[in-house]
Amino acid sequence: MSGQQDRKFIVQAGGQLTGSFRVPGDKSISHRSIMLGSLAEGVTEISGFLEGEDALATLAAFRAMGVKIDGPTDGKVTVHGVGMHGLKAPENDVYVGNSGTSIRLLSGLLTGQTFDVTMSGDKSLSVRPMRRVTDPLALMGANIDSADGKPPLTIHGGHTLKAIEYDLPMASAQVKSCLLLAGMYAEGTTSVTEPAPTRDHTERMLQGMGYPIDVQGNRISIQGGGKLTATNIDVPGDISSATFFMVGAAIAPGSDITLQHVGINPTRIGVINILKQMGADISLSNEAVTGGEPVADIRVRYAPLTGIDIPQDQVPLAIDEFPAIFIAAACAEGRTVLTGAEELRVKESDRIQVMADGLQALGIDAKPTSDGMIIEGGIIGSGEVDGHGDHRIAMSFAMAALQAGGAIQINDCANVATSFPNFVELATHCGLQIDAFDV
Ligand code: S3P
C-alpha cells in the first residue's frame, strides 16, 4: 500500500467451501513473462496474466523503459519485445510497491543496461534485505547504491559485468533469478549453486525462449551474450493463491472444491505434500504441461488433519504457503512443528512472528521460534488480528474463520490486491462469509 485507503475484512464463523473455479495467474510466472518478453526479439502473447499490483508494477517498469505493452485485458497481455539491448532509460524513478520479486530480479537485469535506474517501494519493501542481491552483483562488477542494504536501490548502468560462480547462502529463487538475468549480460559463464531446490520458473522460461541454460543438480549455469525469442505464454493459476482455498476446504467439514488449471511445478508443491501428510484429501486431475510448466486441477475434500513435523526438504517448496499451513496446523489434532524456515522472517512481514501473534490472539497455543513455529492444534476463537500489510497473512486468517468459534476481524488487508485482486469475490462465491470494508 502506498498511501491508498486501507481495508479490513470481517469474516463470519463457520461454513464450508464448495465449487469449481480458477484462481488468478501465477505471480512469479507473470513477472517473468513481462521481463523476458520485453528482452525478447518479437511479440510475446501472454494469457492468464495476474492483474495484481505486484505483476502490474513490473509491467509499468518495462513500459517506463520504452517497451510497448498492450493490456492487460482479461489476463491477456501483448509484449512487443525490444531485444536484449533495446531498453531505454526511464524518465522517473521506478516504483515497485510491495514487490520483492520486481526489485530483486530487476536489479540483476538492470546491471546489464547502459543507463541508471532508481527503484523504490512501499513501507514493507523498504525494510526488506537487498544485500543478498547487491553483494553478488557487486562481485560481477555492478555498481549499486542502497539505503544501508535496503531499498531504494540505484543501479548504475554502463559497467562491464563478469561471470561469477556463486554459492547461494540461502534458498532463494529471487536471488538465483537475479544472478541468472545479470549473467545474460556478463562475459563468460555465470553459475549459481543453491542449497536446496527453489522455484525454477526463470530457468524454464529462459529455455522456452531459446536461451540455453545448463542445470546440473543444484548448479545452474548461463552464458552471457545470448538472445531470447518471443513465444506465447499461458500463465497457470497460482498454487500460492490456490493454497488459501485448499486449506479452507481441508479444515471445514462438508467442503469439496476443485481449483482448475493450477501450476504444479515440482518446486512449488510443498503445500500439497505437507497437507497430504497431515491427512488432507487432495487429488489431481487433468494433468498437462503448458508453456513448459505442469498444471492440474486440484480437488480438496474435507478430512480431519493431524499435526506433523514438517519435513525440512519441503520448506523451500512451500515457502509462501506457511501462513495458510499454520492455520491448517491450528485446526489439526496434535502438534505441528516447523523448523528451517528462517526466511519467513524476511517476507512481506515477519511471517513467523505475525502469524504467532494472530494465532495467539485467537486462542491457539503457537510458539514462534527463530526458524519456525510450534503449534498445538486447538479451537480457534473469535477475535481481531493484524494483517500487517501482508497479503498472505490476511487471506490465511480469513480462512481460519471457517473453523472459528466467532467472527474474525482482520485489519490492514489492502495488500491482498498485490497477488489476489478478486479474493473477496471468489471466497464469497465458494462459501466464505467475508465482507471487506475500506477504512
Ligand atoms: C519468488 C521467490 C520467493 C517467494 C516470492 C516469489 C519468485 O522469494 O517467496 O513470493 O518469484 O522468485 P525468495 O526468493 O525470497 O524465497
Chain centroid, CA 115 distance in Å: 29
The rounded distance, in Å, linking the Cα atoms of 22 and 31 is 19
Q: Architecture of domain 7-25+236-438 in CATH?
A: Alpha-beta prism (3.65)
Q: Give the amino acid at 135.
A: D
Residue 136, preceding peptide bond in cis (omega within 30° of 0)? no
Which residue matches cell numbers 524454464? 204
CA distance linking residue 139 with residue 192, whole number of Å: 13
d(CA 298, CA 238) in angstroms, rounded, equals: 12
Residue nearest to atom 15 of ligand 1 (CA): 172
CATH, domain range 27-234: 3.65.10.10
Provide the pLDDT for residue 1. 40
Q: Is the peptide bond before 152 cis (omega within 30 degrees of 0)?
A: yes
Given 26, 54, 297, 320, the catalytic residue: 320
Residue 2 is predicted with a pLDDT of 43
Minimum-distance ligand 1 atom for the alpha carbon of 31? 11
State the closest ligand 1 atom to the C-alpha of 170, by its place in the atom list counted from 1.
16
- Catalytic site includes residue 256: no
CA distances (Å), 305 to each of 9, 88, 361, in order?
Answer: 26, 53, 22
- Binding site: what residues are annotated? 27-28, 32, 100, 128, 172, 174, 320, 347, 351, 392
Burial, 298: exposed, middle or buried (Cβ in 10 Å; 0-12, 13-18, 19+)? buried
Beta carbons within 8 Å of 176's beta carbon, 6+ residues apart: 168, 192, 194, 198, 202, 220
Contacts of 354 (CB under 8 A, 6+ apart): 386, 388, 390, 393
HSE, CB side, 13 Å, CA atoms: give it for residue 349.
22
Strand order in the sheet with 256-263: 18-21, 256-263, 293-301, 281-290
Q: Are 17 and 8 in contact (CB under 8 A)?
A: no
**Grid cell digits, residue 170:** 540461502
Return the ∠ at Cα 265 (arms to 44 and 232), rounded to 5°. 10
Task: Delimit the CATH 3.65.10.10 region(s) of the chain.
Answer: 7-25+236-438, 27-234
Q: Residues enclosing ligand 1, CB less than 6 A?
A: 28, 101, 172-174, 177, 199, 319-320, 343
Per residue of the chain (439 residues), give pLDDT as tens. Answer: 444 579 999 999 999 999 999 999 999 999 999 999 999 999 999 999 999 999 999 999 999 999 999 999 999 999 999 999 999 999 999 999 999 999 999 999 999 999 999 999 999 999 999 999 999 999 999 999 999 999 999 999 999 999 999 999 999 999 999 999 999 999 999 999 999 999 999 999 999 999 999 999 999 999 999 999 999 999 999 999 999 999 999 999 999 999 999 999 999 999 999 999 999 999 999 999 998 999 999 999 999 999 999 999 999 999 999 999 999 999 999 999 999 999 999 999 999 999 999 999 999 999 999 999 999 999 999 999 999 999 999 999 999 999 999 999 999 999 999 999 999 999 999 999 999 999 9
